[in-house]
Amino acid sequence: MISAFEQSMYKLIVETSTNLPADVRRTIAAAREAEDRATRAGLSLSTIALNIEMAESNVSPICQDTGMPTFVVHTPVGANQIIMKQEIKNAIARATKDGKLRTNSVDSLTGSNTGDNLGPGTPVIHFEQWERDEIDVRLILKGGGCENKNIQYSLPCEIEGLGKAGRDLDGIRKCVLHSVYQAQGQGCSAGFIGVGIGGDRTTGYELAKQQLFRQVEDVNPIPELQQLEEYILDKANQLGIGTMGFGGNVTLLGCKVGVNNRLPASFFVSVAYNCWAYRRQGVLLDGSTHEIESWIYEGGSAVSMAEAAVDSSEEAAEVAKPKEIVLQMPLSEEDVRALKVGDVVILNGEMHTGRDALHKHLMDHDAPIDLNGGVIYHCGPVMLKDDAGWHVKGAGPTTSIREEPYQGDIMKKFGLRAVIGKGGMGPKTLAALQEHGGVYLNAVGGAAQYYAECIKNVNGVDFSEFGIPEAMWHLQVEGFAAIVTMDSHGNSLHADVDKDSKEKLAQFKDPVFV
């Protein structure tokens, strides 16, 4: 029999995965108002708004990347934390089985996926006692793409574009601004950042992540840090990185800063980057019955994104959209060489998913199917199987830059014509696109429900032994939209935005806080 505590944890997990809280929704709605709806960034924000509504309506993951589930639990003195820990794990496994979380825990030595999101270190559970009768449980699901853009600085140091950063508030300012610049669009911007000043290397990152549990609209009680938060939010949005790194007015949605004491020899500034899919929620439980008394963060349904997402109805006619180019897969070299950066492409036909394990495998082995003219989608979907077969429950893109060592060689080896992902790729891939006749298409990061809707059938799967996220899924799609950001003529929107934002970063070199 499932205990009341385990059932409450299951409800918390499902709510966190499928329904963004109201403070996050309000912030995203404000970002849409600040962005030109007809731009690439504006269209992406419209897709994000639609995806948020679809996830709530479908009770399905907002983003396919479960990330590392991290719980912070405050318990009364005398509570049995051993039982609570096991019941949290039970709830995680159950939510995974029900398709609310992707199978996301991998053995670091063998690469084997546990299949239930359990294993050494997974999930992360922090317990603290307090002198209250209630139990407070908070959960954050922070995906791998934004986790990879976390960064830690040791002051004093020299910072690219900003010069020397000393052991003072102005040095901290430079670190935090640079953290936003270095993320570009790879962390699914527009994003939120938590900043930890001080501590040691480990506690600095813990402090930074703790800041992400704060309300978006709260005010820092320390005046100097309030000033820093407001400054960073203002100046980061002048870098021009924009949503998904497409360029634009909105790069950062929130900045929260905390401070701890430090060692005399060490001065760390740690930054935890979180994507727009800011999935965190909490519950206050009755200390005796373990039933949910209240939710910590205002419910997402209190702020509907549907009105903000009217681009799909009347308002769409009033917005000048880029021309859409409809292509049938497999693609020809002629199809691809006709594309240029900025084009919106609508794909129909069969595409194939591929992530780290597949790319590594294909370097030394044959493909299981003919990939000539094919399209590889950097995606680790959420999948469920029943008597009718496999069904896609979430299918947004993963960060592409991890495949940079392989991608160009694999495209030429197998005759692939297009790669879909997020955040762009590097010079090796760009050179291969130009030589071979290929294109990189940027999908909207985190839009798991939006893209799942485009998938009409699962035609098959290879390399299932790699685990669900890393397997090669063959997907029949209709109306799959993405933007050309790297073309076969040597052009890269990502390189252009990086260069432009670096130049803008330099204007903030002079001291501000002295």
Tell me how far apart the alpha carbons of residues 26 and 33 are, in angstroms, rounded to a whole number.
11
The answer to whether residue 418 scores a pLDDT higher than 50 is yes
Instruction: Identify the band that residue 315 occupies on the pLDDT scale cut at 50, 70 and 90.
Output: very low
Q: What percent of the chain has pLDDT over 70?
A: 96
Bridging pattern class, strands 439-442 and 418-421: parallel
The average pLDDT across 417-437 equals: 96
Mean pLDDT of 201-215: 98
- At residue 322, the pLDDT reads 66
Give me 101's structure tokens. Answer: 């979380």
Cα–Cα distance measured from residue 264 to residue 181, given in angstroms and rounded to the nearest whole number: 29
In this structure, the number of other CB atoms found within 10 A of the CB of residue 218 comes to 12
Query: What average pLDDT score do residues 198-214 get?
Result: 98
Cis ω for the linkage preceding 223 (within 30 of 0) = no
DSSP E strands: which ranges in 25-81? 70-76
3-class secondary-structure state, position 31: helix
156: cis peptide before it, omega within 30°? yes
The pair phi, psi for residue 125, each rounded to 5°, is -135, 120
188 membership: H or E segment, kind and range: none
Q: What is the pLDDT of residues 16-33, one digit of tens each?
A: 999 999 999 999 999 999
Lowest-confidence region among 285-289, 309-313, 318-322, 508-512: 309-313
pLDDT of residue 514: 61
Tens digit of each residue's pLDDT (9 = 90 or more) over 43-88 = 999 999 999 999 999 999 999 999 999 999 999 999 999 999 999 9
- Confidence (pLDDT) at 280: 97
Kindly report, residue by residue over 112-169, the tens digit of the pLDDT: 999 999 999 999 999 999 999 999 999 999 999 999 999 999 999 999 999 999 999 9
pLDDT of 91 > 70? The answer is yes
Which residues, 6 or more positions from 88, have their beta carbon under 8 angstroms from its beta carbon?
Answer: 6, 9, 71, 73, 123, 125
Average pLDDT over residues 284-301: 93
Contact 443, 381 (CB under 8 A): no
Q: How far apart are CA 192 and CA 180, in angstroms?
A: 9
CA 43 to chain centre: 18
Q: Report the SS3 class of residue 321.
A: coil
* Predicted TM-score of the model (pTM): 0.94
Question: What pLDDT, on a 0 to 100 scale, did the predictor assign at position 302?
Answer: 67
- pLDDT exceeds cutoff 80 at 305: no
Q: Above 60 in pLDDT, residue 307?
A: no
Task: Return the residue matching tokens 């402090």.
Answer: 207
Residues sharing a CB contact under 8 Å with residue 449, sequence separation 6 or more, in sequence order = 51, 54, 55, 58, 60, 61, 62, 394
CA distance to 23, 89, 149, per residue, from 152 (Å): 27, 30, 10
pLDDT at residue 502 greater than cutoff 60: yes
pLDDT of the residue at 312: 43
Q: Residue 304's pLDDT is what?
A: 64
| Distance separating alpha carbons of residues 105 and 305, to the nearest angstrom | 32
Q: Where are the beta strands (DSSP E) in 179-295?
A: 191-197, 252-259, 268-274, 279-285, 292-295
Strands 191-197 and 252-259: parallel
pLDDT exceeding 90 applies to what percent of the chain? Answer: 93
Least reliable range by pLDDT among 305-309, 328-332, 430-434: 305-309
CA distance 69 to 142: 7
Instruction: Quote the CA–CA distance of 210 and 335 in Å, as a whole number.
Output: 48
For every residue of 311-376, DSSP letters joined together read GGTGGGGGS-PPPEEEEESSPPHHHHHT--TT-EEEEEEEEEE--HHHHHHHTTS--SS--TT-EE
For the residues 346-359, what does the mean pLDDT come to? 97
Counting Cα atoms < 13 Å in the Cβ hemisphere of 142 gives 25
Mean pLDDT, residues 232-248 taken together = 96
> Which among 509, 389, 400, 393 is positioned nearest to 58, based on CA atoms?
393
CB burial class (10 A; 0-12, 13-18, 19+) of residue 328?
Answer: exposed
Residue 317: per-residue pLDDT = 39
When pLDDT is cut at 50, 70 and 90, the band that residue 318 belongs to is very low
Q: For residue 313, what pLDDT band results from cuts at 50, 70 and 90? A: very low
Give the confidence band of 195 by pLDDT, cuts at 50, 70, 90.
Answer: very high
Domains located in the chain, CATH noted: 1-143+280-320 (no CATH), 144-274 (no CATH), 322-497 (3.20.130.10)
- pLDDT bucket at 37, cuts 50 / 70 / 90: confident
Q: pLDDT digits over 181-191, tens only?
A: 999 999 999 99
Residue where the block lists tokens 């609209």: 217
Average pLDDT taken over every residue of the chain: 94
Q: Is 270 exposed, middle or buried (0-12, 13-18, 19+ CB in 10 A)?
A: buried
